[in-house]
Amino acid sequence: MRIGIMGAGGIGSVVGGLLSEGGHDVTLIDQWWEHIEKIKADGLTVETRWKEHLTHPKAIHIHELQHETVPFDAAFIAVKSYDTEWATTLMLKYVDPDHGVFVDFQNGINDEKMANIAGVERSLGCIITIGAAAYEPGRGIRTDENEYGFKIAEHDGSDTPRARELVEVMNSVAETEFSDDLWGDRWSKLMVNCMANALSGVSGYGTAEVRGEANPRRIGIQLGAEVAKVARSHGIHLHPVLGLSPDDVIDASEGRNVEAVENTLLESGRNAGPGGVPSFGQDVRKGRRNEIDYLNGYVSDMGRKLGVPTPFNDKIVEIVHDLGIDFKGEVKNIQPLVDMLP
């Protein structure tokens, strides 16, 4: 399978490097000049908790995409949520028009945006449960120790040969499953993202601290419970993610079975590793635009449409908007959320 990965940040680099090591024809496409040049010159180092891999995917700058003459069998869209439309549009002419597919490799709920451009008949989703980062040119880091890595799903939940083929392809990176419920798995992952990502950026904590420190952990439970309630009202059936049951998160937010949920969060924080930082936190540290409107902001918007209160998600969106783009994550920034805790 010939794969073009649009976006060579943490996820794109880890996936692209390990796929190329597994014998797949991979091209990384990105606007990060130094990163692409380093990969061209010296290869891409992929660091995991178990091993360091020197890999050799093809890497090109975005402007060099126009020179690609052999169509890709698959385009992995691994850019930020706010870049979904242009990235998908750009890849249209470079993916096989008859059998090529587009795969959403993002946080948030962007599958329909991608499918509206590429066509739902050419679109699949990938739910990501690994942590990844890219802090310097030529290096991608897998930061977690999770047992499972990915789920592949069709929009309508059907079991197709192309979905099964992608499962086999992604097994080169981490253990991958077929899913018959893209939307349930996507919203379940959104719940986990909303419990940690923005909190990391606002507070300056890494993944382990967000789940390990008492106040952000308890705020995260309230954020996650609101996501679960909105999803239920939207007719979405949620699934456990990283050992977290959505029902248990709701219970904990209301004072029931709190210790069990907090213990699960503590364990997932340990699995995230000491160097793990959610993508939102990485964006804040780099002074880049963040995805608040596509994560917690999306939940707030859906809550308003469905009549489901989301006070904690509303507040963290307000905090991030007030801080702007180029701000420093500090613990004091989450004090308004601490004051809201029951």
pLDDT tens sequence across 31-53: 999 999 999 999 999 999 889 99
- Residue located via tokens 């920034």: 333
| Domain match, 305 and 222 both | yes
Query: Which residues, including other chains, have CB under 8 Å from residue 129's CB and lie 6 or more apart?
Result: 146, 148, 149, 150, 151, 189, 241, 242
| Domain match, 191 and 168 both | no
At 46, which helix (H) or strand (E)?
A: strand 44-47
Write the CA distances from 112 to 103, 122, 123, 151, 160, integer angstroms: 11, 12, 9, 17, 19
| Domain match, 171 and 230 both | no
Identify which has the larger pLDDT, 266 or 234: 234
Q: What is the pLDDT of residue 268?
A: 81
How would you classify the pairing of strands 123-128 and 101-104?
Answer: parallel
Confidence bin at 24 (pLDDT 50/70/90)? very high
Proportion of the chain above pLDDT 70, given as a percent: 99
Token representation of residue 80: 């930020």
| Domain match, 15 and 101 both | yes
How many angstroms from the chain centroid is the CA of residue 14? 13
| Domain match, 176 and 190 both | no
Residue pair 172/53 in contact (Cβ under 8 Å)? The answer is no
Q: What is the pLDDT of residue 230?
A: 98
| Domain match, 300 and 168 both | no
Q: What is the pLDDT of residue 273?
A: 67
Domain count, the chain: 2
Token representation of residue 98: 């008859």
At 325, which helix (H) or strand (E)?
A: none
- Structural domain containing residue 106: 2-180
Token representation of residue 275: 């160097």
Instruction: Look up residue 92 and give its amino acid.
Output: L
Each residue's pLDDT tens digit, 171-221: 999 999 999 999 999 999 999 999 999 999 999 999 889 998 999 999 999
CATH number at residue 267: 1.10.1040.10
- Average pLDDT rounded to a whole number, residues 235-256: 92
| Domain match, 41 and 65 both | yes
Q: What is the pLDDT of residue 272?
A: 72
Q: Which of 27, 32, 116, 34 lies closest to 76 in space, CA to CA?
A: 27
Token representation of residue 100: 């090529």
- Average pLDDT rounded to a whole number, residues 235-257: 92
Each residue's pLDDT tens digit, 291-314: 999 999 999 999 999 999 999 999
Q: What is the pLDDT of residue 147?
A: 79
Instruction: Look up residue 240 and give its amino acid.
Output: P
In this predicted structure, which of 199-203, 230-234, 261-265 has the lowest mean pLDDT? 261-265
Averaged confidence pLDDT in the chain = 95
